[in-house]
Amino acid sequence: LAKTTQPISMDSYEGQEVNITCSHNNIATNDYITWYQQFPSQGPRFIIQGYKTKVTNEVASLFIPADRKSSTLSLPRVSLSDTAVYYCLVGGRNTGTASKLTFGTGTRLQVTL
Amino acid sequence: DAGITQSPRYKITETGRQVTLMCHQTWSHSYMFWYRQDLGHGLRLIYYSAAADITDKGEVPDGYVVSRSKTENFPLTLESATRSQTSVYFCASRGLAGTTGELFFGEGSRLTVL
């Protein structure tokens, strides 16, 4: 299973763009990269998923270089409500390895005025 | 309502007692998972299940027992609770092929072992 490495914490001001990078050097061919967000006292929730290049949805963008050994979650114009812990996961979507999805320690993002 | 629910949300027990945390999902998802999250740490996988009657260990299975007689339920039992098992426990489920494999989490069960 691919191990991921993320910064422990990040700080940002409201209105700025925040980029959180995740390293996954031993990502497998069938692995996807998925990001989750967790607010205090809540379970994590899915933000975005990608396999290569760029994926964008209504809340974030995910940039994946050609070698797929890292990925960057981009949050445009963050607000105070984006203060949360962000987790990067790497694994297959529908294969046996998808079963043992493991979370790292995540990146704690603190947004202030 | 559809979704994934955990019970109890809060539980205080004593060392040595048996505790069961319940998890119920209404999507008929095949996969279900139990994670624990300790203060200041990420989530660690305890056990998971690929289908009814199929379970397997995760990262930290010691001291826990699971069962899955029905697709929708995945109870987690601490047979003899210890203080080190004080934690927040999250249950999650996911569907099968053709989806993003997104995990859907419950609201968590906060367990305190005295």
pLDDT, residue A73, reads 97
What is the full DSSP assignment across chain A?
----B--SEEEEETT--EEEEEE-TT--TT-EEEEEEE-TTS--EEEEEESSEEEE-SS-EEEE-TT-SEEEEEESS--GGG-EEEEEEEE-SSSGGGGG------EEEEEE-
pLDDT, residue B101, reads 75
Q: What is the number of other CB atoms lying within 10 angstroms of the CB of residue B111?
A: 21
Nearest to B43 by CA among B30, B34, B56, B51: B34
Place of tokens 């940039």: A63
Kindly tell me if the per-residue pLDDT of A88 is higher than 70: yes
- By Cβ distance, the residue of B45, B97, B105 closest to A100 is B45
Chain B residues in contact with A94 (beta carbon < 8 A): 96-98, 101
pLDDT, residue A94, reads 62
Kindly tell me if the per-residue pLDDT of A19 is higher than 80: yes
Instruction: Give residues 15 to 44 of B whose Cβ lies within 8 Å of A.
Output: 31, 33, 35, 41-44
List the single best residue of A22, A101, A108 to mutate versus B (max B Cβ within 10 A).
Answer: A101
Q: Do B107 and A105 touch (CB under 8 A)?
A: no
List the single best residue of B4, B38, B43 to mutate versus A (max A Cβ within 10 A).
Answer: B43
Residue B106 touches partner A, C-beta closer than 8 Å:
yes
By the 8 A CB rule, do B30 and B71 touch?
yes
Identify the sign of the CA torsion A64, B99, B33, B26: positive
Q: Do A42 and B97 touch (CB under 8 A)?
A: no
What's the whole-number mean pLDDT along residues B83-107? Answer: 86
pLDDT band at A100 (very low <50, low <70, confident <90, very high): low
Q: Do B103 and A36 touch (CB under 8 A)?
A: yes
Above pLDDT 70, what percent of chain A? 91
B110 membership: H or E segment, kind and range: strand B109-113
Q: Chain centroid to CA A103: how far?
A: 11
Distance in angstroms (rounded) separating the CA atoms of residues B56 and B44: 14
Distance in angstroms (rounded) separating the CA atoms of residues B49 and B84: 24
By the 8 A CB rule, do B109 and B10 touch?
yes
Q: Please write the tens of the pLDDT for every residue from B16-69.
A: 999 999 999 998 888 899 999 998 778 899 999 988 999 999 889 999 999 999
Kindly tell me if the per-residue pLDDT of B1 is higher than 80: no
Above pLDDT 70, what percent of chain B? 95
pLDDT band at A42 (very low <50, low <70, confident <90, very high): very high
Identify the sign of the CA torsion B113, B74, B27, A101: positive
Kindly tell me if the per-residue pLDDT of B96 is higher than 70: no
B5 membership: H or E segment, kind and range: strand B4-7
Q: Do B101 and A103 touch (CB under 8 A)?
A: no
